[in-house]
Amino acid sequence: MVEKSLVTDLYRTPWDTGIRVQNMVLGKTRRGNPRLMIGLQRFTVHRRSGPKIRWQCAKRSGNNCNATAYTVDDQIIKILANSSFIGATFGVTKAGNPVIEFGQYRFNRVNRTKESGKVRWTCNKNPSGCRASIVTLENVIIKTLNRHNH
């Protein structure tokens, strides 16, 4: 099997939630079908439209992986992932603000420190008194205060 390495180091997706993904490889299966590997997860082609391909996690039913990836001309343009894939779902609200879905809760970005790069997220029920929060560093959760009051 001939493998084409798309990215050897960290790759920052163009959409500005800043998800970083490591070890992306585009290749073919033993039967000759296209295959995309992101980390240890395998993706298969779900749909094509011209040069754009929508990939879905190959083990969707087995491990509840709902991750999808989009490529155009063999370049990753977008990755949508759930908690079983990267531990949390990073996304964007309708207003364009970044959000994390972690378990059954949503967290909104509060602030980002320029010196350390840490980002603090609070539960979206914070105005109602919820004290739960998450701290991320380069989109890796490094601290959680999981004390929800709802």
What digits encode the pLDDT tens for the residues 44-74?
A: 999 999 999 999 888 766 656 677 888 888 7
Confidence (pLDDT) at 49: 94
Q: Tell me the whole-structure pTM to 2 decimals.
A: 0.45
Which residue ranges of the chain lie beneath pLDDT 50?
1-22, 82-84
Residues 132 and 96 reside in one and the same domain? yes
Same domain, residue pair 111 and 41: no
- In angstroms, the CA 109 to CA 86 distance is 18
Residue that is last in its domain, among 65, 83, 101: 83
DSSP 81: -
Q: How many domains does the chain have?
A: 2
Q: Is 44 a domain residue?
A: yes
14 in the same domain as 64? yes
Q: Would residue 150 count as lying in a domain? A: no
79 and 94 part of one domain: no
Question: Computed from CA positions of residues 108, 113, 118, 92, in that sequence, does the dihedral angle turn out positive or negative?
Answer: positive
The whole-angstrom separation of Cα 101 and Cα 148 is 14
The confidence score (pLDDT) of residue 1 equals 35
- Could you tell me if 62 and 106 lie in one domain? no
Same domain assignment for residues 11 and 29 = yes
pLDDT of residue 55: 92
Do 69 and 9 fall into the same domain? yes
Does a structural domain hold residue 24? yes
Which among 76, 72, 33 is positioned nearest to 50, based on CA atoms?
Answer: 72
| In-domain check, residue 62 | yes
List the domain range (segments joined by +) for residue 22: 4-83
Q: For residue 64, give the 3-state DSSP assignment.
A: coil
- Residue 12 and residue 75 in one domain: yes
